Structure 1
Amino acid sequence: MTKAFIQKALLIATCIFSAPTYADNNSQPLNANLSVSGQMTTDKFSSLLKQLKFKSVIVNRPDNETGNEVTVLQLRGIAEKSHVSVVYQPVQSGKISQTDVKEFAKYYNELPKPILMICRSGSRSTSLFNQAKAQGLLND
């Protein structure tokens, strides 16, 4: 195995196993421009938009995922009232691809900030951010 392969494997393992979960009623900032949150409800989403003044939202949880309580259309309806952009980038848990990372980086670099990312626990959103950051894909 090459050194680059081993480094990449360690980075991915670190992202997966060190990603905290944010299933409570809060969001967790990953930097000044981005926060992640776990399991979403319409009330929680409305509250986060009002309290923290997010300008954009990236939804990483597929609508059809087991246990999902709210669809992206419901979130988009709430967000539109606050003039907040919503991007639907569903990512399968444990199956983040390089294409997913590059797509996230494109959204991160183009969307108005601050951004809120949403998935079931916060882990896959955190992993997307960490991988894009480690690859130097984020313009900060």
Structure 2
Amino acid sequence: MSIRHLSKDYAVGPQITPADVARLKAQGFATLVCNRPDGESGDQPAFAEIAAEARKQGMEALHLPVMPGKIMPADRDAFAALYVAAPKPVFAFCRTGMRAETLWTDTQGDADR
């Protein structure tokens, strides 16, 4: 699994499976954020499956689906509020990690990068 740290409290990566959740917990992550709509591709696990495993591991799992290449101002606002409230550190994912990274870079000031 590829993990890219964008700050001390935020990292991104590609699609995960329920089997990846325990490894992410072991690496210290407290919150998972999925930026993919359910059913975006046939090989993608449902968010509910990942969320169920996160709960078993004592982690928060949040779903903020955004369309690739179509991140709207409301998506940025929702992400900013979600990030402030989320237990840290956060691991966010989508198909490749790009939407998760874009949401971060579009909403964070230079001080935390």
TM-score (norm 1): 0.74
Percent of pairs identical after alignment? 27
Q: Pick from 47, 58, 62: which aligns with 1:87? A: 62
Q: Pick from 22, 25, 31: which aligns with 1:46? A: 22
Q: Structure 2: which 5+ runs fail to align?
A: none
Contact 1:117 1:125 in 2 (8 A): yes
Does residue 109 of structure 1 match 2:51?
A: no
Secondary structure of the 1:46 match is helix
Secondary structure of the 1:36 match is strand
Give 1:44 deviation, angstroms: 2.5
Q: For the structure 1 residues 32 and 97, does the alpha-carbon distance in structure 2 shift closer, same or farther, using more than 3 Å as the test?
A: same
- 2:3 equivalent in structure 1: 27
Contact 2:9 2:89 in 1 (8 A): yes
Contact 2:22 2:57 in 1 (8 A): no
**Aligned amino acid, residue 63 of structure 1:** D
Q: Structure 1: which 5+ runs fail to align?
A: 1-24
Deviation digits for residues 47-88 of structure 1 (CA, Å, limit 9, x no counterpart): 2222x1211111101111024421111111110111111111
Deviation digits for residues 3-52 of structure 1 (CA, Å, limit 9, x no counterpart): xxxxxxxxxxxxxxxxxxxxxx12111100000010222222332222x1
CA distance in 1, matches of 2:43, 2:99: 15
Q: Pick from 60, 66, 91: which aligns with 2:41? A: 66
Does residue 130 of structure 1 match 2:105?
A: yes
Q: For the structure 1 residues 63 and 104, does the alpha-carbon distance in structure 2 shift closer, same or farther, using more than 3 Å as the test?
A: same
**Aligned amino acid, residue 27 of structure 1:** I
CA distance in 2, matches of 1:126, 1:68: 22
Kindly name which structure, 1 or 2, has the bigger radius of gyration based on alpha carbons: 1
Q: Over aligned residue pairs, what C-alpha RMSD do you find? A: 2.0
Secondary structure of the 1:62 match is coil
